[in-house]
Structure 1
Amino acid sequence: MVQTPLHSSFGPTVTAAQVALRSDLTGQTAIVTGGSSGLGLETVKALSSRGAFVCVPALNPSLAATALEGMERTEVCPIDLIDEPSIRAFADAFLGRRKRLDLLVLNAGVMARPLFRDAGGREGHLSINHLGHFRLTSLLWPALCSAGKSRVVVMSSRGHQMGDVDFDDLNFERRAYEKWMAYGQSKTANALFAVALDARGVDHGIRAYSVHPGMIMTAGIGHLSRAEFDAFGALAPDGSPIIDPVRDMKTVEQGASTAVWCATAPELEAIGGVYCENCDIAAISPDGPDGVRPYAVDPERAERLWRETVGLTGLEPTRA
């Protein structure tokens, strides 16, 4: 892993559709979690427009089907990322129909919710954003291997700067719960997952990346208060989103561009395990507003999280 910017020709204003224009994805198969709205929907549009067949696992398949209506080369299947049997059922059904998976975009997630837990008592942000996607990737591993060359894109966030993974209290059982710390921990976990996954996948032709999309106003954060939006300086006085890509305030179309770049960029052919933003590899930044914190791309911490996650899920990506 080399966490060094490539100085990509793209900038913060580029859209997912513009990035995708460089690629011919005919014959490739993709999965995009959370692909029926917001960033995920724009990612599905970009990949399918270039010839990929895109499967969209959705919590509400009916709403997802409506969102994707008329879009060629797409299908919707049910999944609940907080529920292990649901994830397994989706993976089994997918592998029963298709033997290869070229692109896996782990886009779905929750943000800054009041305390909730999964059936096993694990904190909800960690369960959905990290454990659910770890389970899904593990179960789909044979299809990723069968593609020969495949990529996994994990949606992290600049929110990782809010906090490292607390290995002594992953589930907020001893420390006081704070929703932004829970979200930040899960986004750090997403970045570390990409580091450890890439280390295991490279010999099978699998590369992994984590992504910061930008500050995007989507339906998924509609539960936040006006005061919270104002604290981020995200809204104009009339309540509309401020769009200023240079300051990381992007449209959904712009926000999806880095995930599509990671999924398709030829510049990344021999690079993996990196955290990306603005269609480039981000610089390591110990304390600045941009870039990635060192702890979020640290290989030793990534390995520790991997071991913890294997213990929590009982799963680990294998060819068999």
Structure 2
Amino acid sequence: MTTLQQPIASPFDAASTAADVMAGVDLSGRLAIVTGGYSGLGLVTAKCLADAGAQVIVPARDIERAHAALVGVKNVEVQPMDLSRPDAIQAFCADVVGRGHPVSLLINCAGVMASPLRRDAAGHESQFSINHLGHYRLTCGLWPALRASGDARVVAVSSRGHHIAGVDFDDIDFNRRAYDKWNAYGQSKTANALFAVALDQRGREQGVRAFSLHPGQILTDLGRHLSRDEIAAFDVLDENGQQKIAPELGLKTLEQGAATGLWCATSSALNGQGGVYCEDCNIATLNRPETGRKGVAPWAVDAEYAERLWRLSEQWTAMGV
């Protein structure tokens, strides 16, 4: 397949931190929105963007928890929103767009992983609903403000977990096949990458570029549905029960994990580019069998699959750009 997945000359690598990537970056006067911006990778991301001068809005389902996590952080405000509720997303977008301030950065960082089978009000499987459809609705709702920037970036936090499964267009919501929480997660992370491909195709002429990425393997609240045995099976803990840090293997600190998303959001090296999946602060190569799960699976950057998912998302949400 023809691919844009070609690494570029980047001064950063797997061990680079958020501070490394953001050194010298000035975002004064720019508005950024970070979903999941009050825990884990999202919290590091929101703080770094604010420290660089951006005004940051953190939409939150748990307002009290968000305020507690962000206390004392300048340039950040918390607003209510729930990615599982279309009405809450619509209200949030209406408020932001109504302010008349262009949105320069939208970092779609929130998500769920390996959760028990749940469905949203429309019957969609919850991991796909929250990780993909919620962020799809959010991006479409914010589109007037993103377009008004003239130079906006949308960053979808995917995962190496996309290698688990592509999108099963015949049964996305597990209505006929047996539910598997990991297949559902992998499908939703593939959807994040395909979303970036399709969005970039639509936004590039309007000054909106899109990227997806794998941040690394970091133990955060995202793993709240995992048992001790499941976590142990990942071989990410040392003999003292602490997370191993080996960025070359993908085992990263929070600051290292946030680096690639911040690089996608701010790096001038990506000017004029978009629709690509990144890892380790660079554009990832297409996956090869000998590299395990490193790189991006072809099904996650396939233009035809991306268009098919976009059309289906339009149909299910009655929204588009």
* TM-score using structure 2 length: 0.97
Residue 82 of structure 1 contacts residue 132 of structure 1 at CA under 8 Å; is this kept in 2?
yes
Tell me, yes or no, if structure 1 residue 293 matches structure 2 residue 297: yes
Which among 107, 112, 127 is matched to residue 105 of structure 1? 107
Indicate the residue corresponding to 2:187 in structure 1.
Answer: 185
Deviations 1:69-105 (A, max 9, x none): 1111110000110000000011111112243000000
Indicate the residue corresponding to 2:34 in structure 1.
Answer: 32
Unaligned runs of 5+ in 2: none
Deviations 1:255-275 (A, max 9, x none): 000000000000100110000
Indicate the residue corresponding to 1:217 in structure 2.
Answer: 219
Q: Distance in 2 between matches of 1:235 and 1:227?
A: 11
Q: Distance in 2 between matches of 1:116 and 1:84?
A: 16
- Tell me the matched-pair count: 317
Indicate the residue corresponding to 1:149 in structure 2.
Answer: 151
Unaligned runs of 5+ in 1: none
Partner of 1:176, secondary structure, is coil
Residue 286 of structure 1 contacts residue 294 of structure 1 at CA under 8 Å; is this kept in 2?
no
Query: Identical aligned pairs, as a percentage?
Result: 54
After TM superposition, list the pairs within 5 Å mapping 1:58-137 onto structure 2: 58-137=60-139
Compute the RMSD of aligned alpha carbons: 0.9
Indicate the residue corresponding to 1:197 in structure 2.
Answer: 199
Indicate the residue corresponding to 1:302 in structure 2.
Answer: 306
Partner of 1:190, secondary structure, is helix
Q: Distance in 1 between matches of 2:100 and 2:110?
A: 22
* Partner AA of 1:8 in structure 2: S
Shift of 1:235: 1.2
Q: Distance in 1 between matches of 2:272 and 2:235?
A: 38
Indicate the residue corresponding to 1:264 in structure 2.
Answer: 266
Q: Distance in 1 between matches of 2:319 and 2:293?
A: 35
Indicate the residue corresponding to 1:282 in structure 2.
Answer: 284
Shift of 1:286: 4.0
* Partner AA of 1:210 in structure 2: S
Tell me, yes or no, if structure 1 residue 241 matches structure 2 residue 243: yes
Shift of 1:136: 0.3
Which among 52, 56, 67 is matched to residue 54 of structure 1? 56
Residue 16 of structure 1 contacts residue 254 of structure 1 at CA under 8 Å; is this kept in 2?
yes
Residue 275 of structure 1 contacts residue 297 of structure 1 at CA under 8 Å; is this kept in 2?
yes
* Partner AA of 1:136 in structure 2: L
Shift of 1:16: 1.0
* Partner AA of 1:185 in structure 2: Q
Shift of 1:22: 3.2
Partner of 1:76, secondary structure, is strand
Q: Distance in 2 between matches of 1:113 and 1:85?
A: 23
Q: Distance in 1 between matches of 2:192 and 2:293?
A: 19
Residue 211 of structure 2 contacts residue 264 of structure 2 at CA under 8 Å; is this kept in 1?
yes
Q: Distance in 1 between matches of 2:119 and 2:9?
A: 41
Residue 137 of structure 2 contacts residue 317 of structure 2 at CA under 8 Å; is this kept in 1?
yes
* Partner AA of 2:269 in structure 1: E
Q: Distance in 2 between matches of 1:83 and 1:17?
A: 34
Greater Cα shift, 29-38 or 87-96: 87-96
Shift of 1:18: 1.7
Q: Distance in 1 between matches of 2:309 and 2:252?
A: 31
Deviations 1:211-258 (A, max 9, x none): 100001112213311211122111123321111111100011110000
* TM-score using structure 1 length: 0.97
Residue 40 of structure 2 contacts residue 220 of structure 2 at CA under 8 Å; is this kept in 1?
yes
Q: Distance in 1 between matches of 2:114 and 2:225?
A: 9
* Partner AA of 2:127 in structure 1: H
Q: Distance in 2 between matches of 1:236 and 1:113?
A: 25
Residue 260 of structure 2 contacts residue 282 of structure 2 at CA under 8 Å; is this kept in 1?
yes
Residue 36 of structure 1 contacts residue 56 of structure 1 at CA under 8 Å; is this kept in 2?
yes
Residue 113 of structure 2 contacts residue 225 of structure 2 at CA under 8 Å; is this kept in 1?
no
Residue 105 of structure 1 contacts residue 152 of structure 1 at CA under 8 Å; is this kept in 2?
yes
